[in-house]
Amino acid sequence: MSVAKMMKEKLEREFSPCILELEDESYRHAGHAGANPEGESHFQLLIVSDKFDGVSRVQRQRMVYDVLAVEMKERVHALVLKTLTQKEYDAR
């Protein structure tokens, strides 16, 4: 199973997001330090979930990193996060 698929499954299970967009940006970092030649090392994530309601931005990021701890330790070098509630997403 791909790293992206595992990450999506974990995030869906934990946050029940109404929007989950995970983009593999590894191609933009080819040849850089930390870039895995197999790819799937750099990601950008947009996740919209009501589980973030009343939670600070820093705590939201910690919640996501806790769920993806194995992937962050073993394979993912960089993860750009945008964590929003439905209300915040609709207001942008």
Encode pLDDT of 35-88 as tens digits.
556 668 889 999 999 999 999 999 999 999 999 999 999 989 899 999 999 999
Q: Which two tokens stand for residue 64?
A: 């996501």
Q: Does residue 27 carry a pLDDT above 90?
A: no
Q: What are the extents of the domains in the chain?
A: 3-91
Those residues whose C-beta lies under 8 Å from the C-beta of residue 3, and which sit 6 or more positions away, are: 40, 71, 75, 76
Higher-confidence position of 9 and 26: 9
pLDDT, mean of residues 6-27 = 96
Domain 3-91, CATH number (from 3.40.190.10, 3.30.300.90, 1.10.3720.10, 3.40.50.300): 3.30.300.90
Hey, which residues does 47 pair with through a beta bridge?
Answer: 20, 83
| Residues 43 and 25 sit within 8 Å (Cβ to Cβ) | yes
**What is the spatial distance between Cα 7 and Cα 68, in angstroms, rounded to a whole number?**
7
State the pTM of this model: 0.88
For CA atoms 20, 82, 7, 4, the dihedral sign is positive
pLDDT of 30? 65
